[in-house]
Amino acid sequence: MWTVVYIAPNRVIADMMKELLENEGILTMLRPIEAPHFGASGSVEVLVPESEIEEAHEIIASSFGKQY
């Protein structure tokens, strides 16, 4: 099962997060939250397999700090 580990404010940040996690070997999927007419400016969920949640959170926290 896929689980949301981060909600990016836009597609650019979501793509950066996906690249970060995939470079660490974590499968990552993006899912837009907003209606399609928002395009790249809408919020995007970053999802990972349930078994990778803890590792993904550690990677995000070490890269972006506890404020993510």
The pLDDT, as a whole number, for residue 42 is 85
Q: How many residues does the chain have?
A: 68
Are 1 and 47 in contact by the 8 Å Cβ rule? The answer is: no
Rounded to whole angstroms, how far apart are CA atoms 41 and 18?
16
pLDDT tens for each residue of 34-48 = 766 655 678 999 999
3-state secondary structure of 40: helix
Start-to-end CA distance of the chain, whole Å, equals 23
pLDDT tens for each residue of 3-62 = 999 999 999 999 999 999 999 999 999 999 876 665 567 899 999 999 999 999 999 999
pLDDT of 67 strictly over 60: no
Neighbours of 59 (CB within 10 A): 20
